[in-house]
Amino acid sequence: MSKLKKRTVKKSGVVKKVLLGISIIFTSAVITAFLGIFLFITFIQDIPDYKELAQYKPAGITRLYDSNGRILDEYANEKRVYTKYKDIPEIVINAFIAAEDKNFFQHRGIDIMSVARASAQNVINLARNKRLIGGSTITQQVVKGFFFNSERSLIRKFKEAILAYRIEKEFSKEEILEIYLNQIYLGNHSYGVYVAAQNYFGKELKHISIEEAALLASLPKAPSTLNPYKNYNRALERRNWAIHRMEEEDFISAEEAVNAVKTPIKLSYSSIRNNKYEDYYTDAVKNELVNLFDANDIYYQAYLVNTNIDLKLQEAAQEVLKTGLRNFDKKKGWRGAVAKVDLQKESANEALKRINGAIYHDNYSLGVVTKINGTVLEITLDDGKAIQLGKDAYAWVTNSSAQLERQVKKLFKIGDVLLIDGALTQKYKIEQIPEVNGAIAIIENKSGKVLSLIGGYDFRQSNFNRATQAYRQPGSAFKTFVYMAAFEQGISPNTLVLDEPLQVDLGYGLPTWNPKNHGDKYLGLITLRTSFEKSRNLSTLRLVLGIGLDKVADIAERYLIYNSDIKPTYSMALGAFETTLLKITTAYASIANNGILKQPKLIDSVYNKDGDLLYSPNDLFCDDCDSADSRPEIGFLGRMVIDSASNYQILSLLEGVVLRGSAQRAQVLNRVVAGKTGTTNNSFDTWFIGMTPDITVGVFVGYDIPKDMGKHAQGSNVALPIFVDFFQKAKFIPDRQFDIPDSIEKRYIDQDTGQTIEGNNFVQGRKYINESFKKDAVSFEDNELGRNIDQNDGLSELSKESDSIFDFMQNSSEEESGEEVEKEPL
């Protein structure tokens, strides 16, 4: 074959190969193009709508404030305060640009150079088995935060890039930065730069320095790892890197960079979540907000809630309640160690560290008994300090000083974990957490504002609010409303009533009932005032028989003391039906407010984040608030629930309880006080509700699971001392007289006989009271109803109510006598 032919054949083969290659490339290109188009269409269909950002309204923080603008508590799923771009300092913006996206103002959502650098680095990271990096722009981070999860994949990055490009076409750079700086999570419960500035530095955003802005800008990469509270050195290193980046981008000078790097990280240990005052009051406010608004809105809508709390009263009330409960509890005796550890298996420090969080111990230190040397206890505290406790530190624990060493060895063992008070004063003593609990409610009479609400010993121990959630028997504290019903019927305080035993046949098959006064003591024929001041049961029962149970039930309903669905029985008259401390304190506050009932108000006003008023009670009244079957109806309140003369007559009797009756302990205050004690059958519940012309203070003490508090436990020596202690601390409350209405005239009466005194016909040795009478009212001598009450009339009516009276017998309240209490103090 010739050389020419060989060349032709060879050339033809090459052409065929080239054509085949071109064909393959073309086919591949077409397939790739179609595949790309298919994938692109698939991605497009699956990409979220970026226009959602235009309606971006981040969840805010609902904050509770006191009257002085202090933050009490706050609620939010994400703690964030949205800040407009114009209000974000330039130094903060520049710090984030330098640290996160130096080409932010030049690119269109995707920084090709950053992607290339990230890709090159990822090749190295893959070889070293390290985590891949992203190279995302700020716009891409916005996209990721709103539309995607933390998944790392090429598909997600592709979608992220498409969305970032679209967003850059739709929004300005400033709008994107505003969203980014408000949405980004910066660790330490900080969402957005505003909250981060508060949480880390305790500063307003406008006061942030260069080094502080650099620290914030260094956090997005790893908020938890770079948290300066936990990893100071790593946070410092990253912050200084951000400072140098700011210098490289000419955002700060070299001198400013040097000074910033030299400055240590200065952290604040006060958080934007200022929950120092989180307690029973703020929890009750939260529950009320849930009733007023949707529960989820509280965590998203950034409400501004102004409460009526008085922090000085709140703190004083919490302190005196704790003290009162401790004092009562100690009289019940020592219950022993709060825990026991084996010091042969672990050291005292290890044991205390292990159990510290598992045991509620108030503000006391935990201590382990390591040695007992005669009457001296050697103890290791939870801070590692070793102390010695002599007999003065545990005197209340022992029965007496006799055979003290033997008592000590019986009461304490090696390994006992004790509660130790005195870490600040170095005067150590053993304490214990009370088993008994209680509550205090303080109401401003004229406005109905709840100034203080203490629902228990400590909110950290138990969130159950015994002022609003615990339904207990008020006992003799309800008698106030029985006598009020009598005065409303025209009966005068000097009317005589018989305080003598009753014997009632309850009917076939039922035992004879013999109701009694406390201590089986009877005073005979006494005035209504004396009956009330001495809190006599049987004379009160005769009064109810005289005026009718329906009148008492009507009063209870008017004052909203009980739920409306309660069927009245005679047991109600002596306080056997259950109510809450807040309800009955509100009723008493209306007496101090000249008979005008105000709905108790925890909240003064609620605004949204735009400053629009959403709620303000303005003396609102709530019907059916306790009903689970109907929607509460809120209306205006400020109504007179009783005439001013009848109201003042009961108010005068309440003052008499302090002057001559069961609340004489309050005389130590040397100020105008009116009030009523209350003790239920078997001393399950003890009360004192006291009033001044300005505020009403209700105190309740009892076990959460009702049980006998002791033979001598009464409202007069359990609840009343807490009231007295409170007023001794709250000396800033004004002292003034109650107003006497024009419908009242004062006349002296003989305290024992009730006879009015004409002129100056006073007899030496007799006791007289300046009694309150309604003007033009029927005099005592002509009051036939008074005479009827003296006798046993009404017993036939009583015997017909056998079921009710049996209930009354089971639940009757104990009588309290101020004189008797003084003889047998608890």
Domain boundaries, the chain: 3-46, 80-262, 333-431, 439-598+638-823
- In the set 271, 476, 644, 813, the catalytic residue is 476
Residue appearing with tokens 């807040």: 582
Token couple for 440 = 């205090």
Alpha-helix runs per DSSP H in 332-421: 348-355, 404-411
Q: What is the largest CA-CA distance in the chain?
A: 165
Give the 3-state secondary structure of residue 597: strand
Residue appearing with tokens 């009020």: 484
Q: Which long-range contacts (CB under 8 A, 24 or more apart) does 558-562 make?
A: 558/597, 558/641, 558/642, 559/481, 559/586, 559/587, 559/590, 559/597, 559/641, 560/586, 560/587, 560/597, 561/474, 561/478, 561/481, 561/587
Rounded to 10 degrees, the C-alpha dihedral 137/142/144/145 comes to 140
The answer to whether the 80-262 and 333-431 domains have the same CATH topology is no
CB 547 within 8 Å of CB 573: no
- In the set 100, 211, 533, 814, the catalytic residue is 100
119 is catalytic: no
pLDDT at residue 361, rounded to an integer:
92
Give the 3-state secondary structure of residue 723: helix
822 is catalytic: no
Q: Which long-range contacts (CB under 8 A, 24 or more apart) does 240-247 make?
A: 240/214, 241/99, 242/95, 242/98, 242/99, 242/214, 242/215, 242/217, 242/218, 243/210, 243/211, 243/214, 245/98, 245/99, 245/102, 246/94, 246/95, 246/98, 246/99, 246/210, 246/214
Token couple for 540 = 């009160």
CATH number, domain 439-598+638-823: 3.40.710.10
**Residues of the chain below pLDDT 70:** 1-56, 109, 111-135, 145-160, 164, 270-276, 503-507, 512-513, 515, 518-519, 619-637, 777-826
CB 466 within 8 Å of CB 686: no
Within 10 angstroms of residue 501's Cβ, the number of other Cβ atoms is 12
Token couple for 727 = 């007023």
Assign domain 333-431 to its CATH superfamily. Nucleic acid-binding proteins (2.40.50.140)
Token couple for 529 = 């005032």
Burial 659-680 (b: 16+ CB within 10 A, else e): ebbbbbbbeebeeebbbbbbbb
Question: 685: closest CA among 702, 699, 697, 698?
Answer: 702
CATH number, domain 80-262: 1.10.3810.10
Residue appearing with tokens 């205006």: 636
CB 489 within 8 Å of CB 511: no
Within 10 angstroms of residue 704's Cβ, the number of other Cβ atoms is 14
pLDDT at residue 118, rounded to an integer:
54
Q: Which long-range contacts (CB under 8 A, 24 or more apart) does 237-243 make?
A: 239/211, 239/214, 239/215, 239/265, 240/214, 241/99, 242/95, 242/98, 242/99, 242/214, 242/215, 242/217, 242/218, 243/210, 243/211, 243/214
Q: How is residue 577 annotated by DSSP? A: S
Residue appearing with tokens 């084996």: 342
